[in-house]
Structures are given as structure tokens and as C-alpha cells.
Structure 1
Amino acid sequence: RGGEPLRLATFSHTCGIRELAVRRLEDAGIAWQEVFVGGGVHAVAAAVTAGLAVTALLYRVKPAGAIDVGKSMKLPSLPLAQVMLHTNVRHSRAQAVLRTVVAAMKNDGR
């Protein structure tokens, strides 16, 4: 970082991930600057891919070619995300799709 604030690409100010990441940076005394606010994962990922900033994303949605720079930049860690899926779907085909989604989330390499 060379004494400059960490450049962040974030989601809107109502995003819980943004709030947590900013709080962790501030608690660690790391200066940061919001240089991009995107309306969704694809917009934020595009900012990261273009090299504009770093961001906090779930591993399963990180852009192709992006790397985790948390340790190398000595950034505070973020807790692993927990997902809870609720459904009242009774149709067997829809249940099969849900099982596939759950399996993919469990086996995303993390």
C-alpha cells in the first residue's frame, strides 16, 4: 500500500459485507478509500478485474483470475459466510435443483 489508503470497491452502504469489511479495516487502523460502489457482484468484480481496487467477496463469486490478497497485504480476516436455505418446495424436480445448489455450495473448494 505504500502509505496510501487501501482502495476499496464496495457494494451499497446497506450491504452487510461492506459494513463488516470497513469495520474490520477501521478496527485494525488501516486507512481506506472507497473508489467504486457497485450495484451488484458483477459490477464490483469488474472493478477488481480492472485493477481499480480490492473488495470483499465470497470465494465462489470471485472474478476469474482474481486472487486473495488478504494475507499478503496484512488485511484483517473476515468470518466465513454462512448460508441458510429455507424452502417449502415439494416438487421433486425443484428439490433436485435445490440439492444440486447445496452440493455446489458445500464443494466450492473452501
Structure 2
Amino acid sequence: MKRILTASAAVACVASAAAHTAFAMPLTVPQIQTASKETTTYDCKGGKSVSVQYTNTRNHQSFAALTVDERKLLSVNVIAGSGAKYVADQYTWWTKGPEANLYDEMAAKDSPPLLAECQARGK
């Protein structure tokens, strides 16, 4: 009985390590080739800041990678009336020139942005 518990524990540890490693691996999609990357840091209302890595691809897609509530998100650019709008899960990162806001689409309609009045450093 002791061997079975030890083997089960070992399998659980290996599975946990594999899952953690898979999560930490970089995303590579050979069909989508990067044209340019730029990282911009924004200072937001309330003394908060966020760093966003923008990636433009050769097939004219755009992505924004940022961390929200300790979750790393890869947001894809979607149609916007003005500015650039990026969406991942329930979050919308919306930039207009050097300004940006982060919205939680699951919040009440009249809720303020999670990150408001963000201004790109040096712009």
C-alpha cells in the first residue's frame, strides 16, 4: 500500500510540474510571423501602471500582451470606432493615441474602467 501512495504522489508531482512548465512556455505560431514588437508602459489614474507589449504581424494582425489581476493575457485587435481595441477573455484594452483604459466587460454597465486615464510614458 505504501508503494502505491508513493507512486501516486510521484505521478501527481510530475503532472503538476508538466502543467506548470507548459504554462510558462512561450507561444509560438509558425503561421503568424512577427513584423514588429514594441513595449509601452502606461501610468494610470490612482498611481497604477501597466506595461503592454504590442506585436504586429506580417499578415496585418495586432496583439497586445498585458497582465490583469496577475493573469498574463494575449489580446487580439478588434474593430473599433476610434483608436485600437484589444480583447481577451472579459477584458478590453482600448487605446486612443497615447491614452488607454482597461475595461471589465463583466462589470456593471456604469462601472468605471479597471485602469483609467492611462498615459503612455514619454508620449
TM-score by length of 1: 0.25
Structure scoring higher RCO (CA < 8 A, sep ≥ 6) equals 1
TM-score by length of 2: 0.24
Which one has a larger percent helix, Structure 1 or Structure 2? 1
Which one has a larger percent strand, Structure 1 or Structure 2? 2
State which structure, 1 or 2, has the greater radius of gyration over its C-alpha atoms.
Answer: 2
